[in-house]
């Protein structure tokens, strides 16, 4: 079984190594792998908390937990990502479970809204998220808003 180290930090607590690894992984997957040109560094990182799963010095998985009002009126989870090297090992499930727990606790809320890539809708439904509204294109990729109420 792979041993991961989970780290949860505010933006100001991130060191340069962590920030570089986060931006590198997001670029690798969201821009290069998904062939999507968009502005990843959008100003929301500064208002967010960051959950990272490390194996040694390799960033295996990551999410950004966004404060209410920054993306949606509710708290949000975004930039959900597992490194291609670590896919298929169940890390994404643990990542989302921990992200939900941290978001509910950090922002003292019982609601989380996300903008989910449409192909991941069933994945998020498995955690209790429910689709709301119509499908839409964001940066050329089909998405749907989803909400979780605890």
Helix (H) or strand (E) holding 148: strand 141-149
Whether 48 and 11 have beta carbons less than 8 Å apart is answered as yes
pLDDT given at position 1: 58
pTM of the model: 0.94
Cα distances (Å, whole numbers) of residue 55 to 52, 73, 128: 10, 34, 28
* Coil/strand/helix, residue 84: helix
Whether 147 and 125 have beta carbons less than 8 Å apart is answered as no
Q: Render pLDDT for 108-134 as a digit per residue (tens, 0 to 9).
A: 999 999 999 999 999 999 999 999 999
Angstrom distance (rounded) from CA 53 to CA 32: 21
């Amino acid at each position: 079984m792979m041993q991961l180290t989970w780290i949860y930090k505010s933006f100001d607590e991130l060191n340069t190594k962590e920030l570089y690894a986060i931006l590198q992984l997001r670029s690798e997957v969201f821009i290069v792998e998904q062939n999507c040109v968009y502005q990843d560094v959008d100003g929301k990182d500064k208002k967010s908390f960051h959950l990272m799963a490390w194996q040694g010095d390799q960033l295996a998985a990551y999410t950004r937990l966004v404060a209410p009002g920054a993306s949606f009126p509710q708290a949000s989870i975004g930039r959900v990502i597992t490194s291609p090297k670590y896919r298929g090992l169940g890390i994404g499930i643990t990542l989302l479970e921990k992200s939900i727990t941290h978001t509910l606790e950090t922002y003292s809320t019982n609601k989380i809204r996300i903008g989910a890539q449409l192909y991941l809708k069933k994945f998020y439904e498995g955690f209790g998220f429910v689709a709301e509204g119509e499908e839409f294109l964001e940066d050329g990729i089909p998405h749907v808003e989803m909400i979780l109420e605890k």
